[in-house]
Structure 1
Amino acid sequence: MGILLLLTAVIFEIAFAIYCIATKQNHKKLKNWIRIAVFIVFAILTVSSVIVWSFSWVMLAILLFLLAVYGTVSLILKKKNIKQYKTSTIVWKSIMMILIFVFVLSPVIIFPQYQSPKVTGEYEVATATDTFIDKSRIEDFSDKGDNRIVNVEFWYPKNTDGTYPLLVFSHGAYGIKTSNSSTYTELASHGYIVVSIDHPYHSFYTRSEDGIVTMISPDFKNEVENTNKGLYSNEERYNIIQKWMKLRTDDMNFVIDTILTKAKSDNDPIYQHINTEKIGVFGHSMGGAASVLLGRERDDVSAVVNIDAPFFSELIYNKADDNFMASSKAYTTPLFNIYSDDVWRQLNRTPVYVANKLNNKQFEGAYTTHFKGAKHLSLTDLPLFSPILANILQGGKADIDKYYCIETENELILKFFDFELKGIGHFAPKETY
């Protein structure tokens, strides 16, 4: 929609400029009527939901409104065209308007309106946010001595009875808690309570209930970038990874423990509808790695989904040969791995994926699926929310259809949790989708 509108604006400005040049007139009155008409059409398209209103349309709406007001005032005052016609002026104004339209339409192009992935469950889904304060931890990323805060969002069945399994999600590096909203919605529609965590200073940004916004830590961002560039020694890399995992799992443990406590004492319907005996964890990228670790450490976690992540928790640094090796301890929690091409091709050749190898006997019972043609961010909602940003961040466009990818992923995750937490059906995913 954004690109179509921009092309329309560019074609109009060029065509109108050519018309003015050919007739050697400014045609100010005609342009004022066109400005008014364009705003009316925009308003009609918005009211009729052809244009789905969101923050990305604000700048365009303001521009069209101001142009319409200017045109209306000019027509009412019947301003005469006292400015002498100049070709250079016509060309300059046309160029300026094109640049202005590029600017105001950039949010619409970067964040286009899109059709939400299908939701197949019977329950209507509601959401709620909360901020938990961990009084046992001081925030390491700040020198203020404040306690660590963790912002969360719930997706849950609305106006229902009974209790439902709890699923806890952890986003990837630079991610946000809404990174897989379509997955949470699909799960909640089938009778799950999903809580997604913002890891402050690891997430791109997070907003607490009191309105305080926390942006990603530059130090953390540099660590991730330098690790990906191979600028650290293996020992340094291992220590950094363990630091990341500790922060992530500390947050996840704190959130789970807080929710379990609230389920006993808080009258909020969200907590009262949680089945505390059925808990699953899942995450994307770094969040997936933390989920695998939580599945090993917590006895009350009954199922884990790892979305495109190395098993950081299963790595052992061997100082003698300066390399990584996999843990020899069996992993007993039911595990489902989902891989994109970006990770799949690294399983047998990148040291930090040594524990992910398909022939690792410690993970004999794990399910593993590969989405052929998918890139790392194909397994999140970002390619829907912002295809341009997804392509930039992951180094190109994925070959897989974005709706097929995310809807199939959501279906598989639902079936896995249904099988492991509810005892519903049989789970036998294909090796490749």
Structure 2
Amino acid sequence: MGILLLFIILIFEIASAVYCIVTKQNHRKIKNYIRISTFITFVILTLSSVIVWGLQWVMLGTLLLLLALKATVSLIRNKENKKYKTSKIVWKSIVMIVVTVFVLAPAIVFPQYKSPKVTGEYKVATATYTYTDKNRMEEFTDKEQYRFVNVGFWYPKNGNGTYPLLVFSHGAYGIKDSNSSTYTELASHGYVVVSIDHPYHSFYTRSEDGIVTMINSDFRKEFENKNKGVYSNEEEYYLIQKWMKLRTDDMNFVIDTILTKVKSDNDPIFQHINTEKIGVFGHSMGGAASVWLGRTRDDVSAVVNIDAPFFSELVYNKADDNFIASSKTYTTPLFNIYSDDVWRQLDSVPVYVANKLNNKQLEGAYTTHFKGAKHLSLTDLQLFSPILANMLHGGKPNINPYYCIEKENELILKFFDYELKGIGHFNPKKTY
């Protein structure tokens, strides 16, 4: 919609300028009527939900309102047209085109899109909280303060039973809403989903008091340098341990906090949680942390790894300066979903040595490859901002974004249904 409107406005401005130049007149009255009509049309489209009002439309709406008010005043005053000047017509058109591109940029970068299918019987409610861990001090700030995490819940509205708890961890630079379509689909089928913002690892996070915390620059540089191959294997291994400790500590803290609240808090969210049925899942670094929890927590009964290496299953062999896979059998039910970006690395990149399909210690795991998908195709970003996702990918995925996310949601639901609720069978195809 943003690109369409930009195209229409650009055509109008260019055609208007050409018409004025050819006729050697300003045609101010005609322009005024058109600008008033444009604003009225924008309002009608918004009220009829053709344009879904949101922050991305604020600047355009403001510009059209100001232009309509100016046009109205001009028509009321009904002054004679100023002397025609070609240079002035051209200059005004250039300015208007630049301003239009600027005010429409948010709508182009973050276009309105239809939400992926929600197939469950329950309506979904949401809630957000900030939890403070008084057993940990924050390591990313010079101030003495306790570590905090912000969490979002997606749960069955007006539920009348107890439901399994699913805990999600986002990737590096991610946010807790990164896979909100997945949480909504799961909650609609009778799950309580909690997604964690990992402060200073997330791109940004907002606490209950309104304070916004941005990604830590040191962490960002570490992650970028790792992807560039700056570090030795030994240095990379210890970075991984540091990152995973923070992530798994956050996840353990959130799970333990929820388990405590189930016993003592009358909030309906917690009273609808079945503490005997817990699953964890995550994307990228969050997927690695989820696999780690499946290894270390006895109460985690199912794990979904979305496009992540098995950091918990890596051992650094100092004698050979290389990574090897752990010799310990992984017993928690595990479902792996891979994009092309990770799939092509399984047999060649050292940190994926434990992910190899012939790893005997994980031979019971389910594994699926989404052919044509890129790393962020497995998040909602490909829907929320295709331009941004494609820039980060370095190209456009060769898979329909709605097919990708809806099939992913369907498979994750079936896996958790099978492992946590004993519903149906789970036998995913190797490739979608």
**Residue 35 of structure 1: aligned partner:** 35
Q: Deviations over 1:234-279 (max 9, x none)?
A: 1000000110000000000000000000000000000000000000
For residues 108 and 130 of structure 1, what CA distance do their matches in structure 2 show? 29
**Residue 90 of structure 2: aligned partner:** 91
**Following TM superposition, by how much is the alpha carbon of 1:78 offset from its aligned partner in structure 2, in angstroms?**
1.3
For residues 281 and 341 of structure 1, what CA distance do their matches in structure 2 show? 23
For residues 397 and 56 of structure 1, what CA distance do their matches in structure 2 show? 23
For residues 255 and 191 of structure 1, what CA distance do their matches in structure 2 show? 20
**Following TM superposition, by how much is the alpha carbon of 1:394 offset from its aligned partner in structure 2, in angstroms?**
1.3
Identity %: 80
Q: Deviations over 1:82-107 (max 9, x none)?
A: x2111111111111101100000000
**Following TM superposition, by how much is the alpha carbon of 1:411 offset from its aligned partner in structure 2, in angstroms?**
0.1
**Following TM superposition, by how much is the alpha carbon of 1:29 offset from its aligned partner in structure 2, in angstroms?**
1.0
**Residue 183 of structure 1: aligned partner:** 182
- What residue identity is the alignment partner of 1:34? I
SS at match of 1:258: helix
**Residue 116 of structure 2: aligned partner:** 117
**Residue 103 of structure 1: aligned partner:** 102
**Following TM superposition, by how much is the alpha carbon of 1:331 offset from its aligned partner in structure 2, in angstroms?**
0.1
- What residue identity is the alignment partner of 1:270? I
**Residue 58 of structure 1: aligned partner:** 58
- What residue identity is the alignment partner of 1:57? W
For residues 92 and 70 of structure 1, what CA distance do their matches in structure 2 show? 19
**Residue 417 of structure 2: aligned partner:** 418
For residues 161 and 86 of structure 1, what CA distance do their matches in structure 2 show? 73
**Residue 169 of structure 2: aligned partner:** 170
**Residue 262 of structure 2: aligned partner:** 263
**Following TM superposition, by how much is the alpha carbon of 1:77 offset from its aligned partner in structure 2, in angstroms?**
1.4
Matched, 1:200 2:212: no
**Following TM superposition, by how much is the alpha carbon of 1:398 offset from its aligned partner in structure 2, in angstroms?**
0.2
For residues 94 and 74 of structure 1, what CA distance do their matches in structure 2 show? 18
Q: Deviations over 1:277-308 (max 9, x none)?
A: 00000000000000000000000000000000
**Following TM superposition, by how much is the alpha carbon of 1:79 offset from its aligned partner in structure 2, in angstroms?**
2.3
TM-score by length of 1: 0.99
Q: Deviations over 1:135-190 (max 9, x none)?
A: 00000001101000100000000012100000000000000000000000000000
**Residue 16 of structure 1: aligned partner:** 16
Runs of 5+ consecutive residues of structure 2 not aligned to the other structure? none
Structural mapping, 1:310-349, within 5 Å: 310-349=309-348
For residues 44 and 223 of structure 1, what CA distance do their matches in structure 2 show? 49
**Residue 79 of structure 1: aligned partner:** 79
For residues 309 and 176 of structure 1, what CA distance do their matches in structure 2 show? 16
For residues 424 and 276 of structure 2, what CA distance do their matches in structure 1 show? 20
SS at match of 1:301: coil
SS at match of 1:7: helix
For residues 36 and 9 of structure 2, what CA distance do their matches in structure 1 show? 15
Q: Deviations over 1:181-234 (max 9, x none)?
A: 000000000000000000000000000000010000000000000000000111
**Residue 385 of structure 1: aligned partner:** 384
For residues 75 and 277 of structure 1, what CA distance do their matches in structure 2 show? 71
**Residue 221 of structure 2: aligned partner:** 222
**Residue 272 of structure 1: aligned partner:** 271
Matched, 1:372 2:352: no
SS at match of 1:282: strand
**Residue 352 of structure 2: aligned partner:** 353
SS at match of 2:364: coil
For residues 84 and 363 of structure 1, what CA distance do their matches in structure 2 show? 80
**Following TM superposition, by how much is the alpha carbon of 1:80 offset from its aligned partner in structure 2, in angstroms?**
2.0
SS at match of 1:210: coil
What do you get for the CA RMSD once the two structures are aligned?
0.5
Runs of 5+ consecutive residues of structure 1 not aligned to the other structure? none
For residues 282 and 49 of structure 1, what CA distance do their matches in structure 2 show? 35
SS at match of 2:332: coil
SS at match of 1:135: strand
TM-score by length of 2: 1.00
